[in-house]
């Protein structure tokens, strides 16, 4: 029987690359449901190509457009409306595997719906783990869900860890970071960065939010938190090393000094295919790594003065509780304001730092409390954006 798949965030960078990998293996996988935020035309095209049983759009108005369009085209895909609809297709009985590729905290409830239904979850949506942390990992255990990391670094670590858990002599994990488009820039130079410059990543082609996060190093901060939760590692055993070529996707160091690295071309189809087929291996469409043309592999420490977001994320993780939810909410607000031209690049870190000072987080016992904290943090961050501006 084919493995039945829901792709949450199907129209995004990870969603589209997932569909590219699935297209290589029609005998193995069947797409049951596709979802998106509000871009109904792109989802309509995907529905006509993939003929899923269900589609869902978070935006209710766009849902009407999608429904009319598909009906006129003779499609028999059932269109579910709104955030509820997106959550519903994440937990369908007739689905085995859910690709969690929504961007930001908008992915929290749909991803948790998949966890609650005990699905195999391919996790790209790192913000969900940053926001809900222990609650998420507890729910995975409680509902017997299977969690497979798609984020390239975490997928690399997953491949380098022993199959039976991290207690087997692991000393630390090393997250590699490309350094983004502004590697080596001073704080003064960073002050004049434009959104166009920030979304142009040297090695990866990604959605706009994660591209800005890569440029500020907040992406590595979020990934640091993600690694602590996924691999049950204390913060002091997760290190970050800048590696501008993005060939070594991350590493695990063992007590005897051995360091295992996973390498490949910077192509998200590799970790997507790895997570889809694990523990088997399938073709991803990614090109082979050409060692003859690899001139060098460089490694250097991150510049935490010019790029304060990484240290902010580490501090939030060390503070514990829901501080990381506040960090994430403030960052989402700051990045959206930067992309809109309403906040200077160098102020993104200040918005996050000031919001964390004003609202330290504390303990949250359930997801409703976390989402309430998330919206309070967003209000505070918006005030910060107004004050700081460009
Ligand atoms: P993207 O912006 O390209 O796509 C985001 C998807 O989420 C789209 O399908 C969009 O329609 C959907 N969406 C947006 N808002 C929504 C909402 N409110 N409700 C429901 N759906 C909504 O983003 P991306 O680059 O594909 O990233 C997706 C996730 O994967 C992010 O968490 C990112 O950090 C992570 N990730 C991405 C990459 C990459 O190479 N792009 C690599 C590693 C991890
Ligand atoms: Mg990554």
Starting from the CA of residue 328, give the closest ligand. 1
Q: How many CB atoms lie within 10 A of CB 24?
A: 14
Q: What is the DSSP letter of 362?
A: -
Q: Which CATH architecture describes the domain 3-150?
A: 3-Layer(aba) Sandwich (3.40)
pLDDT in tens, 325-344: 999 999 999 999 999 999 99
pLDDT in tens, 113-136: 999 999 999 999 999 999 999 999
How distant, in Å, are the alpha carbons of 60, 63, 270, 324 from that of 380?
Answer: 27, 31, 39, 15
Nearest alpha-carbon partner for 8 in 120, 87, 81: 87
Res. 245 pLDDT band, cuts 50 70 90: very high
The predicted structure's pLDDT at residue 166: 58
Please, which residues bridge with residue 34 across strands?
A: 7, 55
Q: What share of the chain is helix, strand, coil (3-state, %, to 5)?
A: 50, 15, 35
Mutating to test ligand 1, I would choose from 101, 148, 284 the residue with most ligand atoms within 8 A of its C-beta, which is: 101
Distance of CA 46 to the CA centre of its chain: 22
- What phi and psi, each to the nearest 5 degrees, are found at residue 79? -100, 120
Q: What is the DSSP letter of 300?
A: B
Does residue 7 line the site of ligand 1, with CB under 6 A?
A: no
Q: Which part of the chain is CATH 3.40.50.720?
A: 3-150
Res. 250 pLDDT band, cuts 50 70 90: very high
Does residue 206 line the site of ligand 1, with CB under 6 A?
A: yes
Q: Any idea how long the chain is?
A: 390
Residues 176, 250 contacting (CB under 8 angstroms) = yes
Distance from residue 188's CA to the centre of ligand 1 (Å): 31
**Binding site: residue ranges?**
11-14, 37, 125-127, 151-153, 178, 201, 207, 214, 219-220, 223
**Rounded-to-integer distance, Cα 284 and Cα 330, Å:** 35
Q: Is the pLDDT of residue 321 over 80?
A: yes
Distance from residue 107's CA to the centre of ligand 1 (Å): 9
Does residue 127 line the site of ligand 1, with CB under 6 A?
A: yes
Residue with tokens 């204390």: 234
pLDDT in tens, 210-227: 999 999 999 999 999 999
Residues 334, 312 contacting (CB under 8 angstroms) = no
Task: Give the pLDDT mean for 179-193.
Answer: 94
Please, which residues bridge with residue 253 across strands?
A: 172, 259
For 266, the token pair is 């910077």
Task: Give the pLDDT mean for 269-280.
Answer: 98
Nearest alpha-carbon partner for 73 in 102, 99, 45, 100: 45
Q: How many CB atoms lie within 10 A of CB 288?
A: 7
**Torsional sign, CA 193, 194, 195, 197:** negative
ipTM for the complex?
A: 0.99
Q: What is the percentage of the chain residues whose pLDDT exceeds 90?
A: 95
**Rounded-to-integer distance, Cα 123 and Cα 100, Å:** 5
Nearest alpha-carbon partner for 214 in 319, 345, 18: 345
The predicted structure's pLDDT at residue 165: 64
For 383, the token pair is 């005030």
Please, which residues bridge with residue 31 across strands?
A: 5
């Amino acid at each position: 029987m084919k493995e039945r798949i829901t792709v949450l965030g199907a129209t995004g960078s990870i969603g589209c690359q997932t569909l590219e990998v699935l297209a290589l293996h029609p005998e193995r996988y069947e797409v049951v449901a596709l979802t998106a935020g509000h871009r109904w035309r792109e989802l309509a095209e995907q529905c006509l190509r993939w003929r899923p049983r269900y589609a869902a759009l978070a935006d209710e108005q766009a849902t009407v457009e999608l429904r009319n369009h598909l009906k006129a085209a003779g499609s028999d895909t059932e269109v579910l409306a709104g955030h509820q609809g997106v959550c519903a297709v994440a937990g369908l009985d007739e689905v085995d595997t859910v690709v969690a590729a929504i961007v930001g905290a908008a992915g929290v409830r749909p991803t948790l719906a998949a966890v609650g239904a005990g699905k195999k979850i391919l996790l790209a949506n790192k913000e969900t783990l940053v926001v809900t942390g222990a609650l998420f990992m507890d729910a995975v255990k409680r509902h017997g869900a299977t969690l497979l990391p798609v984020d390239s670094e975490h997928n690399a670590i997953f491949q380098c860890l022993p199959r039976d858990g991290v207690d087997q002599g692991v000393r630390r994990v090393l997250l590699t970071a490309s350094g983004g488009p502004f590697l080596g820039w001073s704080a003064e130079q960073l002050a004049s960065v434009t959104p166009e410059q920030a979304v142009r990543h040297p090695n990866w082609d990604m959605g706009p939010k994660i591209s800005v996060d890569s440029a500020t190093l907040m992406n590595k901060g979020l990934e640091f938190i993600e690694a602590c939760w996924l691999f049950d590692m204390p913060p002091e055993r997760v290190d970050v090393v800048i590696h501008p070529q993005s060939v070594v996707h991350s590493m695990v160091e063992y007590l005897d000094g051995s360091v295992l690295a996973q390498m490949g071309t910077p192509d998200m189809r590799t970790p997507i295919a790895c997570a889809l087929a694990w523990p088997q291996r399938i073709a991803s469409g990614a090109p082979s790594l050409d060692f003859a043309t690899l001139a060098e592999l460089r490694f250097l420490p991150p510049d935490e003065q010019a790029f304060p977001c990484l240290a902010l994320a580490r501090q939030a993780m060390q503070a514990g509780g829901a501080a990381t939810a506040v960090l994430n909410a403030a960052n989402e607000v700051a990045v959206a304001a930067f992309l809109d031209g309403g906040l200077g690049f160098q102020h993104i870190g200040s918005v996050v730092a000031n919001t964390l000072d004003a609202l330290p987080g504390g303990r949250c016992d359930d997801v409703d409390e976390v989402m309430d904290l998330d919206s309070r943090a967003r209000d505070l961050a918006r005030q910060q954006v107004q004050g700081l501006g460009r």
